[in-house]
């Protein structure tokens, strides 16, 4: 794992694209956590397509809470060999590719929850951003 520090930026919530469904119980937990702690971890996004790689529950919860911006870290998904994708055990697939993730994120469809599992070459930093800073 790299020691590099990735830049956290704020983007319009509507500019992001999901590629997986969320789990309702997990979504409720994320909403409660956001309400109590503010935004505590950024969402990981492909820079060129704005497809979410990690953070579907936080993104969906942020939308339900009326936030207009969310903190993200952008990665060069296809070009960064340190960003890896695999499948979660028992998800119904044997494998998945980065291209399949991006294609799904660019379509009107989504994979079932917990299909893709991303490994990053850096640790996702803890942040502390009050929700009021993410609303208009």
Written out in words, the top-level CATH class of the domain with range 9-129 is alpha beta
User: Angle of helix 24-37 relative to helix 56-64, nearest 10 degrees?
Assistant: 70
The residue ranges of every structural domain in the chain are: 9-129
Instruction: Look up residue 124 and give its two tokens.
Output: 């996702």
Distances 23 to 5, 64, 114, 121, 130 between C-alpha atoms, Å? 30, 14, 9, 26, 24
| pTM score above 0.85 | yes
CA gap 84, 49 in Å, rounded: 17
3-state SS, residue 122? coil
Tens-level pLDDT at each residue, the chain (136 residues): 444 567 999 999 999 999 999 999 999 999 999 999 999 999 999 999 999 999 999 999 999 999 999 999 999 999 999 999 999 999 999 999 999 999 999 999 999 999 999 999 999 999 999 999 999 8
């Amino acid at each position: 794992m790299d020691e590099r520090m990735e830049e956290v930026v704020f983007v319009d919530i509507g500019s992001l694209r999901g590629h997986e469904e969320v789990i309702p119980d997990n979504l409720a937990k994320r909403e409660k956590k956001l309400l109590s702690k503010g935004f505590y971890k950024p969402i990981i996004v492909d820079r060129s397509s704005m497809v979410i790689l990690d953070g579907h529950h936080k993104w969906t919860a942020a939308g339900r809470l009326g936030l207009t911006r969310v903190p993200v870290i952008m990665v060069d998904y296809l070009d960064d060999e340190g960003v890896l994708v695999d499948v979660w055990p028992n998800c119904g697939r044997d494998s998945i590719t980065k291209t399949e993730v991006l294609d799904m994120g660019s379509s009107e469809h989504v994979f079932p929850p917990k299909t893709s599992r991303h490994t990053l070459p850096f640790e996702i930093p803890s942040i502390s951003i009050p929700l009021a800073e993410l609303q208009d």
